[in-house]
Amino acid sequence: MDNGKWFCSKCRESRVRQLEEKLEAALLQIQELKELKASLEEKLRAATVGDAAQPIVQAPTARKPTLVIGDSIVRHVGNVNKHMDDV
């Protein structure tokens, strides 16, 4: 009896083999992910070094900042304040 269920030896061996295959696949996936992580960390380090060498320049803004609000509010405020049409 195993976990409250009866298993024949053939079924148990088959299940053990399936679990071993899943474990092997998981270990292989872990190794691949570790290699990918190392590669990405190296790219990040290279990008960070490259960014530090170049000065940060902000693009000039040609427009003044705007506030976006729902059109129903604008209609209501526009009806009360006629100067809102100028905006």
Model pLDDT for residues 37-53, shown as the tens digit of each residue: 999 999 888 888 766 55
Residue 60 belongs to a domain = yes
Model confidence at 71, in pLDDT bands (50, 70, 90)?
A: low
Rounded to an integer, what distance in angstroms lies between the CA atom of residue 12 and that of residue 24? 18
The model carries a pTM of 0.46
Asked if residue 71 belongs to a domain, the reply is yes
CA distance 70 to 82: 17
Pairwise CA distance, residues 32 & 40, whole Å: 12
In a domain, 3, yes or no: no
- Measure Cα distances from 76 to 73, 85, 87 in Å: 5, 12, 15
* 50-65 average pLDDT score: 60
Cα 2 from Cα 13, distance rounded (Å):
13
Residue 11: pLDDT band by 50, 70, 90 thresholds?
Answer: confident
Q: Which residue type does 31 have? A: Q
For residue 2, tell me if it sits in a domain.
no
